[in-house]
Chains A and B, each alone.
Chain A
Amino acid sequence: MKSLFERGPSLLTRLVLALLCAAMLMFLDHRLNTMQPVRSFLSTLVTPVQYLAVLPEQALDRIVYLSTTRSMLREQNEALRQELQELHMAVQRLNFLENENARLRQLLGSDVRQASRRMAAEIVAVATDPFSHQVVINKGSANGVYKGQPVLDNRGILGQVMSVGHTTARVLLISDQSHSLSLRAERNDIRVLARGTGDLQRLELMFIPHSTELEVGDKLMSSGLGGVYPEGYPVAEIIEVNRDERYQYARVTARPYAQLDRIRTVLLLWPPSAVEQPVYDDVEVDENVD
């Protein structure tokens, strides 16, 4: 306990000083946007916390792996081999179609679609705040990740990179309240704008007229408008169309294909137009054709 004479300013003074400090930072960050370099430096600094956070999960995975029996592994191996074979067959067909498509596009005089480059990354932390749906991945500017880069999982579009540290990057999910993206219905090419609702399983389609042709079960693909997401990736499926005339617009909700609540591995995409180049760590080179 300090003696009476050593005490500094009163508690209330200190509270007010600290609050002023926080308010000033808030102003600098939100209104003037001057904190970006500081932020990316500090997020590099707190990386160890994020790596510590996934440690138990990794340890558990390791234990599960060590306790798998030989017969289970053999079964798994068999199943995977079969799946691989099927995928190989599908890819053969795809390669043929892609070449044909490129030739036809050339004949039509439009640009040939170029391949994008990809890299796998893992989730190291989640932001649990329901007002901001974000995850942190274990690739950063050292791997060529850039702000605004599209991020996918094996089912569909997940979100975009919103800030980059040296070895980590923060991804804003499509379900975040501040995020919207332009989509196109696969069946009839209707263009829609989908906004995140803060619920991981729900996107809201904005400004849909009551007379819309959209139906429950329609597949929504990214439209390529807006410049962030490349065209033609699956995003969501319509689960509800409410044509209640009391509202100004029809209320249409969609469920994202990507499993936003259980993401483990994600895919970073470098569209052909990107200035940045992926920097691969090791043997993980899988240059692929889209």
Chain B
Amino acid sequence: MWIKSGLIPLLATYLAALVLMVMPMPAFLEAWRPDWLSLVILYWVIALPHRVGMGSVLVLGLVADILMGTVFGIYATALLIMAYPAIRHFHRIRNYSFTQQALIIGVLILIKRVIVYELEHVLNGAVFHLPYLYPVISSAIAWPWVYLILRKYRRHYLVRE
């Protein structure tokens, strides 16, 4: 298998998302930290659905599990289930307006976080707190900017299918 164009820039965005995910932040912003990894995965899945697929999402999910210190597979499962509708309907999502896209992204991230909570609840007896869902809102708000920045980035570094 040959290396497709733009592999390094693609991996760099994953790395950036992972770094942003664990970066220490002031306590009052902590609860509102957008779900960077999900946003970046969703962008690539919609932009390059034949290149970034279930395999990449699985690996990223496992890396997220290690970084967050959760049981192996929790983040992987949640991210996979979140990415599936996006890959399935990438044509449709691409043609929506930013507001509609942001709503869909919000719902997908809500699904992801609910799955993470459910698995944590079953495995470790976690208790629900409402602030856990704040990032759904901040991610939806951040989506248009993530989208625009990553699109510019993708075109500049020629990341293709």
Using a CB–CB distance below 8 Å, which chain A residues touch chain B? 1-2, 11, 14-15, 17-19, 21-26, 28-30, 35, 39, 42-43, 46, 49-50, 52-54, 56-57, 123, 125-132, 134, 136, 162-163, 170, 177-178, 197-200, 261-262
Docked pose: A10 CA to B80 CA in angstroms: 15
The reply to whether A49 and B22 form a contact with Cβ atoms under 8 Å apart is: yes
A-B pairs, top 3 by smallest CB distance, nearest first, are A26-B73, A131-B126, A29-B72
Number of interface residues of B (CB under 8 A): 51
Q: Which B residue sits closest to A261, measured CB to CB?
A: B27
The reply to whether B71 and A50 form a contact with Cβ atoms under 8 Å apart is: no
Q: Given A46-B67, A132-B69, A261-B27, do A22 and B77 touch, yes or no (CB 8 Å)?
A: yes
A-contacting residues, B101-137, CB 8 Å: 116-117, 119-120, 123-127, 129, 131-132
The reply to whether A25 and B126 form a contact with Cβ atoms under 8 Å apart is: no
The residue from A18, A126, A134 contacting B57, defined by CB atoms under 8 A apart: A18
Interface-lining segment among B13-21, B138-146, B148-156: B13-21
Using a CB–CB distance below 8 Å, which chain B residues touch chain A? 15, 18-25, 27, 30-31, 33, 50, 53-55, 57-58, 61-63, 66-74, 76-77, 80-81, 84, 87-88, 116-117, 119-120, 123-127, 129, 131-132, 161
The residue from B66, B68, B125 contacting A129, defined by CB atoms under 8 A apart: B68
Which A residues are CB-close (under 8 A) to B125?
Answer: 177-178
The reply to whether B50 and A1 form a contact with Cβ atoms under 8 Å apart is: yes
B146 to chain A, nearest CB (A): 18
The reply to whether B66 and A39 form a contact with Cβ atoms under 8 Å apart is: yes
Q: Which A residue sits closest to B30, measured CB to CB?
A: A128
The reply to whether A22 and B58 form a contact with Cβ atoms under 8 Å apart is: yes
Beyond known contacts A53-B24, A177-B124: 16 more, CB 8 A cutoff: A11-B84, A15-B80, A15-B84, A17-B54, A18-B55, A22-B77, A25-B73, A46-B66, A49-B67, A50-B67, A52-B15, A125-B24, A128-B25, A129-B70, A178-B125, A199-B129
Docked pose: A19 CA to B83 CA in angstroms: 12
The reply to whether B73 and A125 form a contact with Cβ atoms under 8 Å apart is: no
Which B residues are CB-close (under 8 A) to A25?
Answer: 62, 72-73, 76
Docked pose: A200 CA to B18 CA in angstroms: 23
The residue from A1, A35, A130, A162 contacting B129, defined by CB atoms under 8 A apart: A130
B26 to chain A, nearest CB (A): 8
The residue from B69, B71, B124 contacting A163, defined by CB atoms under 8 A apart: B69
The reply to whether A131 and B124 form a contact with Cβ atoms under 8 Å apart is: yes
B18 to chain A, nearest CB (A): 5
The residue from B19, B69, B76, B80 contacting A53, defined by CB atoms under 8 A apart: B19
Docked pose: A30 CA to B62 CA in angstroms: 14
The reply to whether B23 and A53 form a contact with Cβ atoms under 8 Å apart is: yes
Q: Which B residue sits closest to A197, measured CB to CB?
A: B127
Docked pose: A200 CA to B73 CA in angstroms: 26
16 A-B contacts (beta carbon < 8 Å): A11-B84, A15-B80, A18-B55, A19-B77, A26-B77, A26-B123, A42-B66, A46-B63, A52-B19, A53-B20, A125-B67, A127-B67, A130-B129, A131-B120, A131-B124, A177-B126
Which of B63, B71, B88 gathers most chain A CB within 10 Å?
Answer: B71
Q: Given A22-B58, A128-B30, A178-B124, do A123 and B73 touch, yes or no (CB 8 Å)?
A: no
The reply to whether B117 and A131 form a contact with Cβ atoms under 8 Å apart is: yes
Q: Given A22-B61, A39-B66, do A130 and B22 touch, yes or no (CB 8 Å)?
A: no
Q: Which A residue sits closest to B15, measured CB to CB?
A: A49
The reply to whether B73 and A18 form a contact with Cβ atoms under 8 Å apart is: no
Q: Which A residue sits closest to B28, measured CB to CB?
A: A261
Which A residues are CB-close (under 8 A) to B53?
Answer: 11, 14
Docked pose: A128 CA to B75 CA in angstroms: 13
Q: Which A residue sits closest to B123, measured CB to CB?
A: A30
Q: Given A130-B129, A131-B126, do A23 and B77 touch, yes or no (CB 8 Å)?
A: yes
Docked pose: A15 CA to B126 CA in angstroms: 27
Q: Which B residue sits closest to A57, measured CB to CB?
A: B24
